């Protein structure tokens, strides 16, 4: 008689459904990791997520806790308002590079500088993935995209925004870390 050993269980903080993400996309991996930590900490009933525009907007379909949608780039501002109205809640944003490092750069910089008590998950795939893979503010030098087929040329297109490094220089940001999902 063999004993059954469970090696994977779906985190309770994830809905039981298939995702729509493209093959190779790391959103699903990020969802699972975030959900596992929320479950381990026992905070699901206190969570409120804020999703913004881009592929990250679909996060509310996959997490099993309260989620709202913010206008493009405004997730940190919306998360700030929610946290101030509901200080006992744990508020997180889930944003991509087009949303956070482009139109939302001012929002995230000022939220970090104020030391807002929110958590921001920033998924950087270095292109505008939802709209065809165009160059984004975080596209690396030489990286090819649909709008920079010869690669990002820093002489004409400038250098990429290094959002994590920028935020880490702000006194109000309490913890900034960069990790790779692959």
CATH number at residue 46: 3.40.50.970
Domain hosting 122: range is 27-132+162-168
Alpha carbon distance 157, 134 (integer Å): 13
pLDDT of residue 89: 98
Rg (CA), the chain: 18
pLDDT of residue 63: 96
Structural domain count, the chain = 1
- Domain membership flag for residue 50: yes
- Domain membership flag for residue 182: no
Residue 151 · residue 143 · CB < 8 Å: yes
Which DSSP letter does residue 52 get?
A: -
Alpha carbon distance 122, 40 (integer Å): 21
- Domain membership flag for residue 142: no
- Domain membership flag for residue 155: no
- Domain membership flag for residue 17: no
- Domain membership flag for residue 1: no
Residue 95 · residue 56 · CB < 8 Å: yes
pLDDT of residue 5: 87
pLDDT of residue 130: 85
User: Per-residue confidence of the chain (182 residues) as pLDDT tens digits?
Assistant: 788 888 888 999 999 998 888 888 889 999 999 999 999 999 999 999 999 888 888 898 999 999 999 999 999 999 999 999 999 999 999 999 989 999 999 999 999 999 999 999 999 999 888 888 899 999 999 999 999 999 999 999 999 999 999 999 999 998 999 888 87
Q: Distance from CA of residue 104 to its chain's centroid?
A: 12
Alpha carbon distance 143, 129 (integer Å): 14
Angle between helices 105-114 and 75-85 (to 10 degrees): 40
Which residues are registered as beta bridge partners of 141? 152
pLDDT of residue 180: 87
- Domain membership flag for residue 121: yes
Residue 123 · residue 26 · CB < 8 Å: yes
- Domain membership flag for residue 178: no
């Amino acid at each position: 008689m063999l004993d059954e050993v469970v090696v994977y269980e779906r985190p309770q903080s994830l809905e039981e459904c298939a995702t729509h993400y493209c093959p190779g996309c790391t959103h699903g991996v990020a969802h699972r990791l975030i959900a596992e930590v929320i479950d381990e900490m026992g905070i699901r009933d206190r969570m409120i997520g804020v999703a913004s525009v881009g592929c990250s907007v679909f996060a509310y379909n996959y997490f099993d806790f309260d989620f709202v949608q913010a206008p493009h780039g405004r997730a940190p501002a919306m998360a700030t308002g929610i946290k101030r109205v509901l200080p006992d809640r744990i508020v997180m944003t889930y944003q991509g590079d087009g949303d956070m490092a482009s139109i939302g750069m001012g929002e995230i910089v000022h939220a970090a500088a104020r030391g807002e008590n929110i958590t921001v998950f920033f998924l950087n795939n270095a292109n505008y993935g939802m709209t065809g893979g165009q160059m984004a503010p975080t596209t690396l030098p030489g990286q090819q995209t649909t709008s920079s087929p010869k690669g990002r040329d820093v002489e004409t297109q400038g250098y990429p925004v290094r959002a994590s490094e920028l935020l880490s220089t702000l006194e109000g940001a309490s913890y900034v870390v960069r990790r790779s999902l692959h």
